[in-house]
Amino acid sequence: MDYKNAGVDIEAGYKSVELMKEHVKGTMRKEVLTNLGGFSGAFSMAAFKDMEKPTLVSGTDGVGTKLKLAFIMDKHDTIGIDCVAMCVNDIACAGGEPLFFLDYIACGKNYPQKIATIVSGVAEGCKQSGAALIGGETAEMPGFYPEDEYDLAGFAVGIVDEKDIITGKDLADGDILIGMASSGVHSNGFSLVRKIFTMDKETLNTYHEELGATLGEALLAPTKIYVKALRSIKEAGVVVKACSHITGGGFYENVPRMLPEGKRAVIEKASYPIPPIFTMMAREGAVEEKMMYNTYNMGLGMVLAVAKEDADRTIEAIKAAGETPYVVGKVEDGEKGVTLC
């Protein structure tokens, strides 16, 4: 009896690392001091010594049951983007610049090419956010996961000067709310998605005119990464007063997280186009409108608040970064919370 007979192939682990190295190489920053395969990743902080009060910010998350669709469709090259996005968008919400990322893949059986494909998506997400992929772990766990399934999670660290942390404390009555378009469902609410639609290849591979894609393509569209857009806003000289990443819990849970006591967000539902995937989900699943806004991003992956006089500059900066912005509402004095009208 040996480890391989017990279900763990050490050689497959070595091959996975070799296959993913080329993808990881493209994410490197000059601050990275170690090579992939060591026991830890080292990252120099020397470049940030001129900040008044350099402050580390972090984020960790997984992809959730969206992975089930990747299993059914046998498509694993974009799911890593989702993993990175869920972490680095949270860092960007605090005003931080993502520095480095680590991933964790747990699987029933290590298929080196599949693992490398997953990591290629992680590397792409890191490139989009400017984060270095400095390490990770692939755990082969036979008997715990089915052979063809895996879980994927990640952890990111960023930096911000303490004075530049986005807290919402300076929000004022009349500040403008600007939303950035999402790519679709992103990485939240897939337990409900899987109840609405039959989860088989035939259903997911069916083309829908209203989506302009197959159902599976629309649902697997990777989560938008908004790091460059927020950096562009900062470089335009705009102070973002508050910022919310619209993830699980939709508008009703996430928008109030950026508000101080005594301030209310008023969002006009007709101020931007709702992607057709959400209209289809509400119709096919008979999901009430409030539940849709309480579960999904409904077409806005991030909402931020700026002073009224900065609205136009913010819109232009977001467009310059390749994202689509909408003026979606305003901040008012009142009980902390969000009104959708």
Give this prediction's pTM: 0.95
| 19-27 mean pLDDT | 86
Predicted confidence (pLDDT) per residue in 141-152, tens digit: 999 999 999 999
CA atoms within 13 A on the CB side of 75: 16
Question: Which segments of 112-173 does DSSP mark as H helices, in order?
Answer: 112-129
Supply the pLDDT for residue 34: 81
Q: Which residues contact 120 (CB under 8 A, 6 or more apart)?
A: 20, 23, 77, 80
Neighbouring-strand partners of residue 59? 156
Supply the pLDDT for residue 134: 95
| 85 neighbors 225 (Cβ within 8 angstroms) | yes
Residue 286 burial by Cβ neighbours in a 10 Å radius (0-12, 13-18, 19+): exposed
Supply the pLDDT for residue 5: 63
| 292-296 mean pLDDT | 98
Q: Domains in the chain, please, with CATH?
A: 10-164 (3.30.1330.10), 176-340 (3.90.650.10)
Rg (CA), the chain: 21
304 confidence band (pLDDT: 50, 70, 90): very high
Predicted confidence (pLDDT) per residue in 121-134, tens digit: 999 999 999 999 99
Is the confidence at residue 3, as pLDDT, over 70? no
